[in-house]
Amino acid sequence: MEPKGAANGQAGPRPFGLHYDVWGRLVLTDADGRQHIGVELVRAFPLSDPQRGISICDCKGRELVWIADLNALPVSLVRQIEEELAKREFVPIIRRIVKVSAPIEPSEWEVETDRGCTTFVLNSEDDVHELDEHRALITDANSIRYLIPDLRQLDSHSRRLLERYL
């Protein structure tokens, strides 16, 4: 799929702007000056390549703008996009696994994250995914995702609790 704005021999993406309306909805002003109210930003590869492949979609999920490389945009727009994506992509980082209630599911996990201590329920061992040999993603019963960016950085107790799930 050719990125929107790259057609017709143009160099780089066509200009666009983002702002919030009085009701707090994100509004895209496209290159033709049309405003699209209630747009959402979605990363194609949020964990493996967060700076590339960002889509701005209308309220019905149709892609309006494709951003091949976030770093190709003006700094002020990059900052605004990153702030909006941070609101959407709540992914706490697990620093330590304190306790797992039982070896069978559903189980209650007590963890320390970059946002503080929390407890969540894991429905199934299938909700723990190895992203590569050193990273894992855990999805709790409420569909909140928790990232372990480097399994090697976990303490031995945490690694032992996590072993049976990987």
Of the given ranges (3-17, 65-79, 103-117, 121-135), which has the lowest mean pLDDT?
3-17
Please tell me the pTM assigned to this model. Answer: 0.59
Q: pLDDT tens digits for 71-86? A: 999 999 999 999 888 8
Query: In which element (H, E) is residue 76 found?
Result: helix 75-88
3-state secondary structure of 11: coil
Q: pLDDT tens digits for 118-159? A: 999 999 898 999 988 899 999 998 888 899 999 999 999 999
Q: Tell me, what amino acid is at 147?
A: L
The span from the CA of 133 to the CA of 150, in Å, is 9
